[in-house]
Amino acid sequence: MPRSRLLSIAVVAALTGCSENNPQTVEADLSGYYTRDEVNASFATVGSLQAVSDRVAAGRLIPNGDFRTGLAHWQIAAGPAASVSIANVAGSGPVSDSAAINVPDVSSPTWVTNDTWIPLDRSAAYRVTAQAQVASGNFGSFFVAVRLRDAAGTEIGGDSAWWFHAVSNQSPADSAWRAHSAAFGAGTDHPFPAGAESMTVGFILNADPGDIAIGGNRAFHIQGLDIVRSQGLRPHRLQAAVGTKTTGQTLGSLSFYAVAGEPVTLTMSCSGRPNAAGHTYASMYLDGALVSSAGESGSTTWRRTMSGMVSTTVATTGTHTFTTTIEVGSGATSFADGVGEWPQGGLTMLAWVGE
């Protein structure tokens, strides 16, 4: 079915447990390319509505990139017939409980493409995303590619028959899931060539690392495939006077939305005075994982400003949390609770998302 652009459709959903006299309204601005069936499905439950809303908010364009509906919208473009299927990765897959998996064949890698071609905006930048892991084997690599066509539907080649190998010849040394992404389009290192009118995404599994024309012996799990329209650099800011906090407590926390593989730069600056001699640290956490600590030692009379900056990428699509905590220690490495306090001072936190 042709995909249509739907603008500003307010969806009202009845939430379980709401009284008749106290309805709750959920609204989603559906401003992407969707089939009628996809939009109708968004009315089924609040959960599916949120999924559609999140997908639109992020500008996500590729249908069934998480393989929740099997191999719908995917087809083998080259390689042995029936060489890709759906695997259950419940509990390990970062995007969903399903992933595509190839059947290893040393004679040829498996080329798989999405069947939905998206009209592109030559003045816009985009990001292609994927998450993958080695399922078995010890020799073989994978690729994720952006495909382009001109107005007549003719394929535009580049790195291979497919235009841009956004993830190229990756041969992981272990079986860990990893997020991959790359930018393309206006203002990037991979601008659209003349004549490009539409795009989609494809992947190549189990290629010989030295020759893309032949295969290896590896099976790969892959999911989270999408093309996301860049929303530009999106700043998220928290600034506050933090008051008195005992050691180990949170000074501030802010949340932001990002897609897997998207660049994020986190900055923090805070000031105050401990009431015990020793080291004072302000620690930065992203989704609960320590990413940086800034600190110094001194007496109780010293006021200090500590700052930190971390540039990284996020591994999953969704809402992420940036948190700053305070630690005060009586010695060089001691951070026992209650040793000191962090009297009132200023705190500034910034999360720069995108590029």
Which domains, and CATH codes, for the chain?
A: 1-57 (no CATH), 60-229 (2.60.120.260), 234-353 (2.60.120.1340)
Q: Which residues contact 340 (CB under 8 A, 6 or more apart)?
A: 246, 247, 274, 275, 276, 278, 280, 328, 329, 330
The SS3 of residue 348 is strand
Q: From residue 299, give the alpha-carbon distance in Å to each of 136, 225, 274, 305.
A: 57, 53, 8, 14
For 176-190, the pLDDT digits (tens) are: 999 998 999 988 899
Nearest to 272 by CA among 306, 240, 237, 246: 306
Contact 120, 194 (CB under 8 A): no
- pTM for the full predicted model: 0.64
For 202-254, the pLDDT digits (tens) are: 999 999 999 999 999 999 999 999 998 887 778 888 888 777 777 777 888 99
